[in-house]
Amino acid sequence: MKELKDTQNERDTRQISIDRVGVRGVRYPIVVSDKEERTQSTVATLALMVDLPEQYKGTHMSRFVEALHEHRRYLDVHSAVRLPARLLRKLPAQRARVEIEFPFFRLKKAPVTGMEGMMDYDVRFVIDAERNQPGTFTLTIKVPVTTLCPCSKAMSERGAHNQRGIVTYSVRFSGSAVWIEDLIDLVENCASCQLYSLLKRPDEKYVTDKAYDNPVFVEDLVRNVAVATEHYNAFSWYRIEAENFESIHNHSAYACVERTLS
C-alpha cells in the first residue's frame, strides 16, 4: 500500500499548546459494580482527551477510539481507570482525561406498601492522569430529593411549599471505594424526604408527612451532606451542590460546599 501523508504530525509554528483535545459523545457499553445485584450493564457516554504540545499540528483521533475498543465487549470501573495511561502510551502527551457518564438503576420499595419501582441516577466518573504520576478518580452522582421550606412551614397555617431538588455530589476517595448505593443513601437521608418511582396512596401520605416533619433549606441540605461525608472518613475531597426547583418562584435556590480533607 502506498504510504499516506500523516498531516497530524506536521509541525505547527504558532507556539500555542492545547490543554485538551480528543473525542466526545462516544457511546459504549459498560458494566458497573452493584451492591445488591453484583453488577449491572448500562450504556455510557465518554469523552477521552489529552494535551497537545505546541509543535504538533494535531492529535491522532483514531487512537482514542482504538484504546477504548481494546476492552472489546465492555468497559468496567477497573479498566476505565487504566484508560488515561493507555492514551498516554499511544499519544505524545503529558496529561490525559477520561469522562464517563451513565445512568445507574436501583430498585426501590415504596415506604408503606412495599411496591417496587426502578429509580435512575446520573453517575459520572472522571479520571485524570499525568505521565509518570499517580492519577485522580472523581465520582459524581446526581440524586433527586424532596425539600420542604422551613420558613413557609413556620409562617403558614395550612401547609408549606415543597419542591423537588437535585444534589450533585462529587467525592474523591482516600482509601477503599464506597458503593454508589451507599452514597445515594447518604444524600437521600439528608433531605426532607427521598423520591420513589412508584407510590400508592398510603405511600403518598407517608412522604408528604415525612417532608412536612423534616423541613430543609437548600443551605441545610448541603450542610447535612457535608457532615455525613466527613463522618464517613473515606474521602480526601468532596463537593456538594444542591439546586431546588422552587414551586413558588420562577427561579431555583442553590448552595454549594467544597472541602479538601486532611
- Kindly report the CATH number assigned to the domain that includes residue 223: 3.10.270.10
Crossing angle of the two packed helices 83-90 and 61-69, in degrees rounded to 10: 140
Model pLDDT, residue 1:
65
The pTM of the full predicted model, rounded to 2 decimals, is 0.92
Q: What is the pLDDT of residue 156?
A: 92
In a domain, residue 174? The reply is yes
Indicate if the pLDDT at residue 151 is higher than 70: yes
Q: Is residue 218 assigned to a domain?
A: yes
Within a 10 A sphere around the Cβ of 228, how many other Cβ atoms?
16
pLDDT digits 0-9 by tens, 166-211: 999 999 999 877 899 999 999 999 999 999 999 999 999 999 999 9
* 71-75, 134-138, 209-213, 224-228: segment of lowest average pLDDT: 71-75
Give the total number of structural domains in the chain: 1
What average pLDDT does the structure give for the chain? 93
How crowded is the C-beta side of 32, counted as CA atoms within 13 Å?
A: 26
Please check whether residue 73 lies inside any domain of the structure. no
In a domain, 262, yes or no: yes
Let me know if residue 223 belongs to a domain.
yes
Tell me: the pLDDT tens digits for 112-146?
A: 999 999 999 999 999 999 998 888 999 999 999 99
**Domain for residue 74, yes or no?**
no
Residue 249 domain flag: yes
Q: Which range has the worst mean pLDDT, 74-83, 161-170, 224-233?
A: 74-83
Q: Residue 20: inside a domain, yes or no?
A: no
Residue 182 sits in which domain range? 135-262
